[in-house]
Structure 1
Amino acid sequence: MLHALYTLFVLILLLLTLPWWVIRSLRTGKYRGTMRQRLGFALPKPPVGAAPIWIHAVSVGEVMAAQGLLRALHARYPDSPLLLSTVTKTGQEIARSLPGISATFYLPLDLPWIVRRVLKHLQPRALIVMETELWPNLFQQCKLQQIPVILVNGRLSPRSFRHYRLFRWAMKPFLEPVHLFIMQSAADAERMLALGSDPQRVIHSGNLKYDQALQPPTPAQLQELAERLPPPSGIIWLAASTHPGEEESILDSLQSLRPQWPTLRLILVPRHPERAATVGALIRQTPFQYALFSQLSAPWNEEILLVDQVGWLTRLYRYAHIAFVGGSLIPHGGQNMLEPASQGIPTLFGPHTVNFRQAVQQLLEKQAALQLPDRTALTPTVQQLLADPELRQQLGTRAQAVVASNSGALQRTLQALQPLLDTPPL
Structure 2
Amino acid sequence: MSLLLYNLFIVFYRWALQLAARWNPKAQKWVEGRKEWEQALIRFRQQDQRPLVWMHCASLGEFEQGRPILEWIRANYPNHSILLSFFSPSGYEIRKNYAGADYVCYLPMDSARNARQFIETASPSLVIWVRYEFWYHFLNILSGKNIPVILIAGRFRKSQPFFRSYGRLHRHMLTCFQHLFLQDGASAELLSKVGIHKTTVAGDTRYDRVSAIAEKFEPIPEIEDFVGNNPVIVCGSTWPEDEEELDHFANTRPDIRFIIAPHEIYEEHLRDMEKLFQHTVRFSVWKQSPDAGTTANVLIIDNIGMLSRLYKYAKLAYVGGGFGDDGLHNILEAAVYGVPVIHGPVYDRFPEATELIEEGGGFAVSTALELENRFNQLLTEENALATASRAAATFVASRRGASAYIQTYLEEKRLLTS
Would you say same fold, with TM above 0.5? yes
Shift of 1:375: 4.7
Whether the 8 Å contact between 1:368 and 1:399 is mirrored in structure 2 is yes
Matches within 5 A, 1:275-290: 277-290=268-281
Instruction: Deviation per CA, 1:34-60: give whole Å up to 9, x if none.
Output: 1316x5442360263531100112222
1:174 and 2:168 matched: no
Partners of 1:53 and 1:125 within 8 A in 2: yes
The yes-or-no answer on 1:226 pairing with 2:225 is no
Q: Distance in 1 between matches of 2:368 and 2:278?
A: 21
Local SS of the residue matching 1:62: helix
Aligned position for 2:191: 192
Deviation at 1:63, TM superposition (A): 1.4
Q: Which runs of 5+ in 2 are unaligned?
A: none
Q: Is the 8 A contact 1:350 1:375 kept in 2?
A: no
CA shift, 1:410, in A, is: 0.9
2:35 matched residue in structure 1: 36
Give the 3-state SS of the residue equivalent to 1:345 in structure 2: coil
Partner SS state of residue 360, structure 1 = helix
Name the structure 1 match of 2:392: 399
Tell me the matched-pair count.
Answer: 411
**1:255-288: per-residue Cα shift (whole Å, max 9, x none)?**
3xx2xx32212211122334x5224314314433
**Aligned residue for 2:3?**
3
Q: Counterpart of 2:282?
A: 291
Shift in alpha-carbon separation, 1:172–1:29, aligned structure 2, 3 A: closer
Q: Which residue in 2 is equivalent to 1:305?
A: 299
Contact 2:360–2:391, Cα closer than 8 Å, also in 1: yes
Q: 1:239 aligns with which of 235, 240, 252?
A: 235
Deviation of the 1:401 alpha carbon: 1.1
Partner SS, residue 288 of structure 2: coil
Q: Does 1:365 align with 2:363?
A: no
User: C-alpha displacement at 1:13, in angstroms?
Assistant: 3.0
Task: Please report how far the alpha carbon of residue 290 of structure 1 lies from its aligned counterpart in structure 2 after TM superposition.
Answer: 3.0
From the superposition, tell whether residues 269 and 176 of structure 1 become closer, same or farther in structure 2 (CA, over 3 Å). same
Task: Give, in angstroms, the shift of residue 249 of structure 1.
Answer: 1.1
Q: Is contact 1:236–1:322 with CA below 8 Å preserved after alignment?
A: yes
Residues in 1 aligned to 2:368 and 2:166: alpha-carbon distance in whole angstroms: 36
Equivalent residue, structure 2, for 1:353: 347
Shift of 1:23: 1.9
- Shift of residue 177 of structure 1? 1.5
Between the aligned partners of 2:125 and 2:165, the Cα distance in structure 1 is: 33
Give the secondary-structure state (helix, strand or coil) at the position aligned to 1:395: helix
Q: Is 1:273 paired with 2:272?
A: no
The SS at the match of 1:125 is strand
Is the 1:231–1:319 Cα contact (8 Å) retained in structure 2? no
Q: Note if 1:210 corresponds to 2:207.
A: yes
The code of the aligned residue for 1:303 comes to: N
SS in structure 2 opposite 1:237? strand
Residues 361 and 389 in structure 2, CA contact (< 8 A), matched pair in contact too: yes
Distance 1:197 1:332 in 2: 32
Instruction: Label 1:76 to 1:403 Cα distance change in 2 as closer, same or farther (>3 A).
Output: same
- Evaluate the alpha carbon distance shift between residue 294 and residue 68 of structure 1 in structure 2; reply closer, same or farther with a 3 A threshold: farther
Partners in 2 of 1:239 and 1:268 — Cα distance? 5
Work out whether 1:330 is the aligned partner of 2:324: yes
Specify whether residues 381 and 130 from structure 1 end up closer, same or farther in structure 2 by C-alpha distance, changes over 3 A only.
Answer: same
Change (3 A) 1:263 1:356: same
Partner SS state of residue 214, structure 1? helix
387, 400, 406: which one aligns with 2:380? 387
Q: How far is 1:251 from its partner?
A: 1.5
Question: Cα distance 1:351–1:285, how it changes in 2: closer, same or farther (>3 A)?
Answer: closer
Aligned to 2:188, what secondary structure does the other structure show?
helix
1:60-139 equivalent positions in 2, closer than 5 A = 60-96=60-96, 98-139=98-139
1:268/1:228 CA distance change after superposition, 3 Å = closer
Report the Cα offset of residue 289 of structure 1.
2.8
Q: Distance in 1 between matches of 2:310 and 2:82?
A: 28
Do 2:347 and 2:354's aligned partners in 1 also have CA atoms closer than 8 Å? no
Superposed CA deviations along residues 113-143 of structure 1, whole A, max 9, x for unmatched, are: 1122211221111211111121111111212
Residue 397 of structure 1 deviates from its aligned partner by 1.8
Identity %: 24
1:331-388 Cα shifts (integer Å, max 9, x gaps): 444221111111111211222223421x233322322222224554111111212222
Whichever residue aligns with residue 189 of structure 1, its letter is A
Which stretch shifts more, 397-406 or 299-308?
299-308
Please tell me the root mean square deviation across aligned C-alpha atoms, in Å. 2.8
SS at match of 2:40: coil
Give 1:251's aligned residue: 247
Segment drifting more, 286-295 vs 344-353: 286-295
Q: Give, in whole Å, the separation in 2 of the partners of 1:166 and 1:307.
A: 47
The answer for the alignment partner of 1:319 in structure 2 is: 313
Cα offset, 1:21, TM superposition: 2.6
